[in-house]
A and B are shown apart, each in its own frame.
Chain A
Amino acid sequence: MTGVVIIGGGQAGGRAIEALRGNGFAGAVTLIASERHLPYERPPLSKEMLLDPASTKIDWVRPAEWYAAHGVECRLGVSAVSIDRAGKHVALSDGTTTGYDTLILATGASPRPLNIPGGDHPACLAVRTLEDAARLRPFMVAGKRIAVIGAGFIGLECAAAARGHGADVMVLERAPRVLARGVPTRISDLYAGLHRAKGVDLRLGVELLRIDGPDDAPMLHLADGRAISADVVVVGIGVIPEDGLAASAGLTVNGGIVVDEYGRTSDPAIWAAGDVTRHFNPLLGQSLRLESWQNAQNQAIAVARNIAGIETVYAEVPWFWSDQYGINMQITGIAGDDTHEVVRGDLDGFAGLLLQISGDRLVAAVGLNAVRDLRFAKQIIQLGGAVSAAELADPAVKLADVAKRMKG
């Protein structure tokens, strides 16, 4: 078997396949996926699937018939063990090998393990797969006690869903604020307040020492001597790029598989896309590793187009969203350390924008229930971001008009 082999069946792998066929690639396409499912979208795992635990809806990238109709061989429940770059074949976990002309690595990222005694307690689960969400769903009821380790997006979305069902929720975070990696302090403080107002027992700046106790009654021991009992422990402390396969094959890896703006690795026959890549973004002039739905989808599409012979640079302003308590947060751009902030609208009322300005440029924005304005902010950033803080702060100035003017 030759043609294109895609390793990894997440959003990136699925969209790469869709775009290969959509852009006229007629050769053999083989998907190697360690999960026993066809590619599906992961955002609902911590949102809709928990908000509506009875729903059977799964957001498949494409239904099974599509893969069959488009001549895609899907080998599910099989992972790649090693890559022989000289011989152009991949050794698989079932003992077989598969040859390739072109390889796409879309191996994604895996939940960071909780590296403390009892961090692998049977009551601990991450939320990365359909099975994880299915395990968590029965706890979305009043009376259940859910301990969330890590106040990142996954943890807080799970907390929000659980509170919506009346479950008791405690969130433990080592950092002094929530969402510390993703948003400015002002937004962190708003969300900390929101979760507390919704009844979450949010503990910031706390150290979890160990977890013990029976399988269905974990006990969490904090550094301050407190012990907390729970029914389930959601571990949301980030992810680690699955770049080991690439590193073992001698590809350039630096906290993610290093790729250029086309998605090429250091081997011209091997491409990579999605969470696993550290990719150069020419729009921003820097290399990034992003854990986002947008990146998984659109970088994969760019890679597929390049393989299909349509030269495509992947250069987008990063964009991300989170839904909590019916409030839609969207984030765009990359903020440095030297930004100052301008607020538009009623940010404290969860209906406004926080714009982050570096020098005389808009570099990032956070929108709360402000999808339209956030989209214009994204466009302004894409167009170079050169707009004065005074203009951005003026409520009489419409971002749509600023974007239109910059576009010329």
Chain B
Amino acid sequence: MSDLIALCSVDAVSEDAALQVGHDGRDYAVYLYDGQYYVTADLCTHGPGFMSDGFIEGCEVECPFHQGKFNFITGAPTAAPCTEPLRVWPVTVQDGQIWIDPNTGTVEGAT
């Protein structure tokens, strides 16, 4: 557990929008969907848009910059122009906080 960091309180996250959390020079986006919490990189892989400014529909987030989309559970790009996946981190919920290990994030679903 020593590598885990607390990003935010679960109460701070809503289903309507991803929450931006900065930690150690990196911006994360924290999502709530169907009772589960998810964390991705906040910065789009295509342009300088932030997922935390984006538009949530189901388990997809639409970047506000070019309206490309990602599945925020897997990080996979789901709509053009995005082709590179978002990095995602496994989430641990404990003591009302959302925890991740910054070193374990993965990218998958590349096309």
Please give the residue numbers on chain A whose beta carbons come within 8 Å of chain B beta carbons, in ascending order: 15, 18-19, 22, 41, 61-62, 293-294, 297-298, 301, 319, 321, 371-372, 375-376, 379, 400
**Is B64 within 8 A of A15, CB to CB?**
no
Are A294 and B55 also in contact (CB < 8 A) when A41-B81, A301-B80, A375-B62 are? Answer: no
Specify the chain A residue showing the minimal Cβ separation from B64.
A371
Instruction: Give CA–CA (A41, B53) in the complex, Å.
Output: 23
Extra contacts besides A15-B81, A293-B66 (17): CB < 8 Å: A18-B80, A22-B111, A41-B81, A61-B81, A62-B83, A294-B67, A298-B80, A301-B80, A319-B67, A371-B49, A372-B54, A372-B55, A375-B54, A375-B55, A375-B62, A375-B64, A400-B16
83-111 of chain B: CB within 8 A of chain A: 83, 111
Number of inter-chain CB pairs below 8 Å: 32
**Is A372 within 8 A of B64, CB to CB?**
yes
Most buried by B among A41, A294, A372, A379: A372
Contacting residues, chain A, for B64 (C-beta < 8 A): 371-372, 375
Kindly state whether residue B17 has any CB partner on chain A within 8 Å.
Answer: yes
55-75 of chain B: CB within 8 A of chain A: 55, 62, 64-67
Please give the residue numbers on chain B whose beta carbons come within 8 Å of chain A beta carbons, in ascending order: 16-17, 49, 53-55, 62, 64-67, 80-81, 83, 111
Specify the chain B residue showing the minimal Cβ separation from A297.
B80
B27: min CB distance to chain A, Å: 16
- For this complex, 8 residue pairs linking A to B, each with C-beta atoms less than 8 Å apart, are A297-B81, A321-B65, A371-B49, A372-B53, A372-B55, A375-B54, A375-B62, A400-B16
Contacting residues, chain A, for B83 (C-beta < 8 A): 62
**Is A371 within 8 A of B53, CB to CB?**
yes
Contacting residues, chain B, for A319 (C-beta < 8 A): 67
Instruction: Give CA–CA (A18, B82) in the complex, Å.
Output: 12
A312: min CB distance to chain B, Å: 13
A370: min CB distance to chain B, Å: 10
Instruction: Give CA–CA (A319, B65) in the complex, Å.
Output: 11
B11: min CB distance to chain A, Å: 19
**Is B17 within 8 A of A372, CB to CB?**
yes
Instruction: Give CA–CA (A371, B17) in the complex, Å.
Output: 12
A42: min CB distance to chain B, Å: 12
A72: min CB distance to chain B, Å: 15
